[in-house]
């Protein structure tokens, strides 16, 4: 619990420190495929019975204009939710499109109803109080997406669980 609170505090402090400098950071890039693989490695330790799969045709050294910390936090929150709610599998798909970068995190769990999707991004909102957490993950993801001029869409995965798609536009 103490470790979780330290991580939460660290995350909130970071988000608060960015309040005055939100938006794309000029000259900052990160490697989405490499970061995703690293986050998956961590999640496999936290959720040893869950299969995390990365699907992409992009090379590991592919660069994207975004702060590394932002992408790590975004993926960490989405993969942690997937690990909590899935039955067995969480899939991450990263695709370079003509308009930007698409990152989908999909699981085979119970999914998110359209009614819940409308409120689940509100800070502190939790769908199930019996599952560990603080209800901050998706609101933090939403803020990061907004800071990077992107969009976040929730739906149903091909396996019947939740699908969250992050669309990050090409820089101007």
Taking the C-alpha atoms of residue 15 and residue 58, their distance in angstroms, rounded to an integer, is 29
In this prediction, residue 172 carries a pLDDT of 73
Q: What pairs with residue 8 in β-bridges?
A: none
Asked if residue 12 has pLDDT above 80, the reply is no
Taking the C-alpha atoms of residue 84 and residue 127, their distance in angstroms, rounded to an integer, is 12
Taking the C-alpha atoms of residue 57 and residue 54, their distance in angstroms, rounded to an integer, is 10
Q: What is the pLDDT of residues 151-168, one digit of tens each?
A: 999 999 999 999 999 999
Candidates 1.10.600.10, 3.30.565.10, 1.10.1330.10, 3.40.50.620; correct CATH number of 29-169? Answer: 3.30.565.10
Global pTM reads: 0.77
Taking the C-alpha atoms of residue 74 and residue 79, their distance in angstroms, rounded to an integer, is 9
Angle CA 130–128–7, to nearest 5: 75
Six-digit token string for 42: 């961590």
Asked if residue 15 has pLDDT above 60, the reply is no
Angle CA 12–15–18, to nearest 5: 150
Q: In 3D, which of 96, 103, 118, 27 has the Cα closest to residue 72?
A: 103
* pLDDT interval class at 113 (50, 70, 90): confident
* pLDDT interval class at 138 (50, 70, 90): confident
Six-digit token string for 94: 């990263």
The better pLDDT of the pair 82, 137 is held by 82
How many CA atoms within 13 Å lie on the side-chain side of 82?
Answer: 34
């Amino acid at each position: 619990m103490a470790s979780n609170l330290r991580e939460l505090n660290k995350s909130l402090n970071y988000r608060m420190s960015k309040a005055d400098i939100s938006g794309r950071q000029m000259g900052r890039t990160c490697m989405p495929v490499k970061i995703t693989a690293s986050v998956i490695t961590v999640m496999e330790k936290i959720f040893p019975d869950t299969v995390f799969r990365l699907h992409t045709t992009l090379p590991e050294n592919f660069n994207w204009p975004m702060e590394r910390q932002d992408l790590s936090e975004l993926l960490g929150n989405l993969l942690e939710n997937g690990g909590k709610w899935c039955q067995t599998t969480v899939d991450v798909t990263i695709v370079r499109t003509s308009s930007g970068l698409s990152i989908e995190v999909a699981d085979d769990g119970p999914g998110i109803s359209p009614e819940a999707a409308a409120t689940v991004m509100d800070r502190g909102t939790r769908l199930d109080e019996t599952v560990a957490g603080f209800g901050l993950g998706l609101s933090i993801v939403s803020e990061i997406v907004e800071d990077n001029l992107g969009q976040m869409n929730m739906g149903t995965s091909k396996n019947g669980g939740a699908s969250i798609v992050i669309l990050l536009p090409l820089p101007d």
